[in-house]
C-alpha cells in the first residue's frame, strides 16, 4: 500500500473493523454468532441429505428447497468464518482481491436466492391454479433451467460491481472498512474518485432484485388467492393455502431482514454503527437458520423422515 500525491491510498489490503464499539465483547459475541453459523450449516446440510434420501421428496418444490439450502450455505460461509476470525484472532486484514471476491459472493447469491423464491412462487402458482398440468410443466429439466437462470442473473447483475471498483476506484481515503465484511457501499464510500456510477448501479440492481422480484411474487400470490377463494369449502381452501405456508414464511424471513437493514442504513442516521452492522449480519444469518426450521416444521414429509432418522439412530443395535 502506498500514498498518492493527493494523500489518497492505493491499498493492496483492507482492514475490517468488525463491529465498532463492541470490541471488548468479541469473545462473548463469538458464542452466539458461532452457534448460529453451526445451526445454519447443520440445518441446511440436513435438508439436503433428507431430500436426497427420501425419493418421495424428489419433486420441484423440494428441489428448489435444496437450491435454497446450497445458497444459504454459500451466503453464511462467505461471511461468518471471517467474522469469527476477527472475534477470536483479531484477523481484520483482508486482501483487495479477497475483499472483492467476498463482495461478489454475498451480493450474487443474495440475488440468486431472490430468483429462487420467484421460481418457487411460479411453482406454487402452477400447482394450485393448474394442478392437472403441474407435473408436465414443472419437470426436473425446467427446475434445473430455472435454477441456472437465477444463477446467471445473479452473476450478470453483480459481476460488474467488483469490476467497477477494481477498474474505476483505485484510490481510497483509508483502507479501514467500517464493517465486518466487504459490503459494496461500505467499500465505495471510502473511494477518493467519483462514485456516482457505482452508487447508481448498486441502487439500480437493488431495485431490480428486491422491488421487481417482490412485486412479481406478490402478483403470483394474488392470483393464487383468487383461485383458492373459488374453491367450494373452507376446508379445501385451508388445505390448499397450507401448501404455500412454508414458502410464504421463507419469503418473509428473507425479505424482512433485508428491508429492515436497508431502511436502517438509508434513514437511520442516528442509529449507532454497531446496530447497522449487527442487522447486516443478521440478514445473512437469519434465512439460513430459519429456512430449514420452517420447512422441517411445516412440511409433513420432511418432518416424518427426520423423525424416522432420529428414531433409527436412538434404537439399540
One digit per residue, the tens of pLDDT, for the chain of length 317 reads 545 545 788 999 999 999 988 999 999 999 999 999 999 999 999 999 988 988 888 899 899 999 999 999 999 999 999 999 999 999 999 999 999 999 999 999 999 999 999 999 999 899 888 888 888 999 999 999 999 999 999 999 999 999 999 999 999 999 999 999 999 999 999 999 899 999 999 989 988 888 899 999 999 999 988 888 877 777 777 877 777 888 888 898 898 888 887 777 667 678 888 888 998 898 889 999 999 988 877 777 788 778 877 777 666 55
pLDDT of residue 17: 93
C-alpha angle 310-285-264 in degrees, rounded to nearest 5: 150
**141 CB burial (10 A radius; 0-12, 13-18, 19+):** exposed
CA quadruple 177, 203, 291, 27: dihedral, nearest 10: 10
Query: Which residues are bridge partners to 162 per DSSP?
Result: none
- Measured between alpha carbons, how far is 27 from 235 in angstroms, rounded to an integer? 52
**Residue 5 confidence (pLDDT):** 47
Residue 156 near residue 209 (C-beta atoms within 8 A): no
Residue 230, all three cell numbers: 373459488
Instruction: Please report the pLDDT score of residue 57 as a whole number.
Output: 85
Closest CA to 296 of 304, 285, 288: 304
CA 110 from centre of chain: 4
C-alpha cell at 6: 493527493
Question: Phi and psi at residue 308, in whole multiples of 5°?
Answer: -65, -45
19: left (phi over 0), alpha (psi -120 to 50) or beta: beta
Core vs surface per residue 83-104: b (16+ CB within 10 A) or e? bbbbbeeeebebebeebbebbb
255/175 Cα distance (integer angstroms) = 31
pLDDT of residue 131: 85
Amino acid at each position: 500500500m502506498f500514498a498518492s500525491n493527493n494523500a489518497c491510498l492505493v491499498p493492496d489490503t483492507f482492514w475490517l473493523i468488525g463491529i465498532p464499539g463492541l470490541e471488548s465483547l468479541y469473545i462473548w459475541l463469538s458464542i452466539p454468532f458461532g452457534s448460529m453459523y453451526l445451526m445454519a450449516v447443520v440445518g441446511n446440510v440436513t435438508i439436503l441429505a433428507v431430500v436426497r434420501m427420501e425419493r418421495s421428496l424428489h419433486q420441484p418444490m423440494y428441489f428448489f428447497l435444496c437450491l435454497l439450502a446450497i445458497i444459504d450455505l454459500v451466503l453464511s460461509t462467505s461471511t461468518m468464518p471471517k467474522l469469527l476470525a476477527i472475534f477470536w484472532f483479531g484477523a481484520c486484514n483482508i486482501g483487495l482481491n479477497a475483499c472483492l471476491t467476498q463482495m461478489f459472493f454475498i451480493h450474487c447469491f443474495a440475488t440468486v436466492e431472490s430468483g429462487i423464491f420467484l421460481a418457487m412462487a411460479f411453482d406454487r402458482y402452477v400447482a394450485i391454479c393448474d394442478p392437472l398440468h403441474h407435473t408436465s410443466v414443472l419437470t426436473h429439466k425446467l427446475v434445473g433451467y430455472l435454477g441456472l437462470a437465477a444463477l446467471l442473473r445473479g452473476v450478470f447483475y453483480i459481476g460488474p460491481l467488483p469490476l467497477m471498483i477494481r477498474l474505476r476506484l483505485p484510490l481510497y481515503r483509508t483502507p479501514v472498512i467500517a464493517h465486518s465484511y466487504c459490503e459494496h457501499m461500505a467499500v465505495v464510500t471510502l473511494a477518493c474518485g467519483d462514485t456516482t456510477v457505482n452508487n447508481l448501479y448498486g441502487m439500480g440492481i437493488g431495485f431490480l432484485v428486491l422491488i421487481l422480484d417482490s412485486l412479481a411474487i406478490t402478483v403470483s400470490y394474488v392470483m393464487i388467492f383468487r383461485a383458492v377463494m373459488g374453491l367450494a369449502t373452507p376446508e379445501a381452501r385451508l388445505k390448499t393455502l397450507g401448501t404455500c405456508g412454508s414458502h410464504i414464511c421463507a419469503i418473509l424471513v428473507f425479505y424482512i431482514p433485508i428491508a429492515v437493514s436497508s431502511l436502517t442504513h438509508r434513514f437511520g442516521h442516528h442509529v449507532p454503527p454497531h446496530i447497522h452492522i449487527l442487522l447486516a449480519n443478521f440478514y445473512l444469518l437469519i434465512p439460513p437458520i430459519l429456512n430449514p426450521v420452517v420447512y422441517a416444521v411445516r412440511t409433513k414429509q420432511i418432518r416424518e423422515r427426520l423423525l424416522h432418522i432420529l428414531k433409527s439412530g436412538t434404537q439399540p443395535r
